[in-house]
Amino acid sequence: MFSLRDCGIMLEPQGGMQVGEILEWAEYAEKAGFGYILRSDHLMPTGVLREEDSPSPECWVTLGAVAASTRRVAFGPLVTPVGFRNPALLARMACTLHSFSEGRLVLGFGAGWFRDEYLANGYEFPPFRVRFEQLLEALKIVRPLTEGRRVDFQGKYFAAHTACLPKPKGKVHLIIGGRTAKVVRAAAQSADEWNIFGPTLELYRKLKTVLDSNLGGRRVEVSQMGTFLIGENTRELKENASRHAELFRIAGGADAAIEMLRGRGAFLGTVKEFVGQVNERLEAGIQKFYFQILNTQNREMVNLLTRTLKEEL
């Protein structure tokens, strides 16, 4: 049965959050009863708020702090790009945090997409074809190591001849995020969970067919990550949209913000409409939802989300 434990709060700290704020949201997620507190793994701001002095705390350092400050909630990156860290080192980092947290780490893994942060930090940013090849190779290292197995692998991009000791407490839950057929096939063959960002139901169903046809008897969970803009009624929805437009400098105010978020596949509408959208996706086979909080200043809307998930779903 679906519950709040199947939902998570998704943070975007590269937009200017301090470490203390991340920990406050982790505490909120745990006390409220969410199953997950997740964060992006970016090295610099990615959206309209891209001032040079915006805080952008490093992902894995903050995950260690989250592990130490919580006791129940699962946590992790959604997603860590393959190009940022050697896969054997990444696996060791994941195993260490997984063991320290008594098995609560979930590892989101992907090909990366934000060219600017790669180049600004001295990384090459190859075409998607190469990044995807790197992801496939990295999975041949990360998957066995995070399951407690030794790996002996020599590839075109990566190599590893090692094991993670101490072994992780149970295998690390591996999430592969993406919305192309290639990435979905990789998730079907290697991951424990496929995550898709804000899809239309038409796109989701198309990619779910790809997932199902490549499982080969494996069981892979399905989750959606996306933002939300909701209100108890139409008036409150417009007020929250105005606050969003002001924060992100969207010309055209509330109406423009609503249309922009609708185009990104956000959960959008009154509480009644939001419940309908979630139920529609549950019926389509999506099992988990990670709600991306873009406006961390609007705690009232997050509280409304939490109450609605608890009481209406």
**The pLDDT of residue 10:** 98
Number of domains comprising the chain: 1
Q: Comparing 249 with 11, which gets the higher pLDDT?
A: 11
Instruction: Identify the three-state secondary structure at position 154.
Output: strand
Residue 36 lies in a domain: yes
Residue 300 lies in a domain: no
**The pLDDT of residue 51:** 54
Residue 94 lies in a domain: yes
pLDDT interval class at 50 (50, 70, 90) = low
The residue written with tokens 């979905």 in the block is 184
pLDDT above 90 (res 48):
no
- Tell if the pTM clears 0.75, that is, is over it: yes
**What is the C-alpha to C-alpha distance for residues 272 and 278, in angstroms, rounded to an integer?**
10
Question: Could you give the count of Cα atoms lying within 13 Å of 311 in the half-sphere of its Cβ?
Answer: 8
Could you count the other beta carbons within 10 Å of the beta carbon of residue 312?
Answer: 12
Q: CA 119 → CA 54, 80, 116, 122, 126, distances in Å? A: 18, 17, 5, 5, 10
Residue 306 lies in a domain: no
Residue 242 lies in a domain: no
Residue 249 lies in a domain: no
| Residue 10 region by backbone torsions, left for phi larger than 0, else alpha for psi between -120 and 50, else beta | beta
Full domain range(s) for residue 158:
4-227+288-294
Q: Which residues pair with 228 in a beta bridge?
A: 267
pLDDT above 90 (res 199):
no
Residue 263 lies in a domain: no
Question: Could you give the count of Cα atoms lying within 13 Å of 303 in the half-sphere of its Cβ?
Answer: 4
pLDDT interval class at 289 (50, 70, 90) = very high
Read off the amino acid at residue 292: Q
Return the closest-CA partner of residue 146 out of 115, 185, 192, 114.
Answer: 192
Query: What tens digit of pLDDT does each residue of 238-259 get?
Result: 999 999 999 888 999 999 999 9
Query: What tens digit of pLDDT does each residue of 103-145 get?
Result: 999 999 999 999 999 999 999 999 999 999 999 999 999 999 9
Question: For residue 93, what is the domain's CATH number?
Answer: 3.20.20.30
Q: What is the mean pLDDT of residues 53-57?
A: 80
pLDDT interval class at 15 (50, 70, 90) = confident
Residue 236 lies in a domain: no
Asked whether the beta carbons of 111 and 87 are under 8 A apart, the reply is no
Could you count the other beta carbons within 10 Å of the beta carbon of residue 152?
Answer: 11
Question: Could you give the count of Cα atoms lying within 13 Å of 107 in the half-sphere of its Cβ?
Answer: 29
Q: What is the mean pLDDT of residues 180-193?
A: 97
Q: What is the mean pLDDT of residues 293-312?
A: 96
Asked whether the beta carbons of 231 and 239 are under 8 A apart, the reply is yes
